[in-house]
Amino acid sequence: MDFQPEKAVVRAHHAAIAAAAPDAIAAALAEHTAPHWHWRGVHPFEERTGAEAVAATFWQPFLAAMHRVQRREDIFFAGLNEIDGHESRWVVSMGHLVGLFDAPWLGIRPTGRMAFLRYCEFHRVEDGRIAETAFFCDIPHLMTQAGQNPFPPQTAAHLIQPGPIGHDGLLHAPQDPGEGSRTLAAINAMIADLGQWQKGLPLEEELALSWHDDMIWWGPEGIGATYTIERYARQHSGPFRAGFAERSKTRHLARLAEGRFGGFFGWPNFTARATGGFMGFPATGRSGEFRVIDIYRRDGDKLAENWVFIDLLHWARTQGLEVLQRQSGLEG
């Protein structure tokens, strides 16, 4: 299966963004997107339609605050979307947007130093243009870099998160379709085994069905990254399960793989009711939405690395907490 035309569209889109000044970013976005481009972003950006709206909502304010921005990409792949019967073609990019944080953004204080914004985006490409995008970024991680940590101490460690251990995540060339099928099968096995918390095994035994023992889970700010099944169970999966009940079924809008890399996103992926406290927040008893992107690296028949983006600002809103307002006194 050849995804080279779709990859070329997204790489040209990235190049146009990189070359554009803030006042020209809307025109740059329009070069490779459809007129009714459907863009989904984390809170406070939400859903937008068309290049002008996306530019005004995210890119113009971001580029006015963050100067000399570079895209430091770690993972790039494409594939057919399993969710719609392998009809639509998607391209995935993940890494950091790095720049000099010289002016306020979303009420976050500038540092005058380089700063890293973790991002991951899914692009649906149709008729030579990007028709749909999910753009997730880790705003709380940027807040922490600026000395405005919005969350209580996290259970794991959050650092500047690297790409895959083999530095082989940029799949610019065509890949063996069989490898992508194996990766998607490993992801689907993980979803079937673990997605509903109903396997009936001890947690570490559940995890071992789908994961290598030396797995790394690269979680978002507020949770952090954790290494090995034992520490992942202790530092994230166990506390997360203890903090929630009535987890809904998993729902994705796109799920795809190429080579040894794959991933998915939902809007939301699932809902769960906060019953036991999570990340230092009290148990509200409210059901909350989890919008999540997961990117995976497969090694053999099991998963070895997982980069996770959770729209925690949106989840906090469902619990009655406006994190950006609390931190800055400004509307998000």
* CATH code (residue 15): 3.10.450.50
Reported as a single tens digit per residue, the pLDDT across 127-173 is 999 999 999 999 999 999 999 988 877 777 777 899 999 999 999 99
Chain segment 212-247, per-residue pLDDT in tens: 999 999 999 989 999 999 999 999 999 888 899 898
121 φ, ψ to 5°?
Answer: -140, 140
* Contact criterion met (CB below 8 Å) for 133 and 124: yes
Residue carrying structure tokens 């959050």? 158
Q: What confidence score (pLDDT) does residue 332 get?
A: 35
Residues 114 and 193 in one domain: no
Higher pLDDT, residue 157 or 301? 301
The single residue listed with the structure tokens 């803030």 is 22
Do 210 and 117 share a domain, yes or no? Answer: no
Q: What is the mean pLDDT of the chain?
A: 93
Please tell me whether residues 224 and 282 are part of one structural domain: yes
Q: Are residues 74 and 195 in the same domain?
A: no
Both 141 and 184 in a single domain? no
Total tally of structural domains belonging to the chain: 2
Q: Is residue 219 part of a domain?
A: yes
Residue that terminates a domain, selected from 96, 122, 145: 145
Cα dihedral sign for 112, 113, 117, 123?
A: positive
What's residue 197's pLDDT? 56
Name residue 47's beta-bridge partners.
40
Q: Is residue 133 part of a domain?
A: yes
> pLDDT of 253-280, one tens digit each?
999 999 999 999 999 999 999 998 887 7
The separation between the first and the last C-alpha atoms of the chain, rounded to the nearest angstrom, is 42
Does 112 fall in a domain? Answer: yes
Range of the domain at 48: 4-145
| Of the candidates 82, 216, 81, the residue with the CA atom closest to the CA atom of residue 159 | 216
For residues 204 and 123, state if they share a domain.
Answer: no
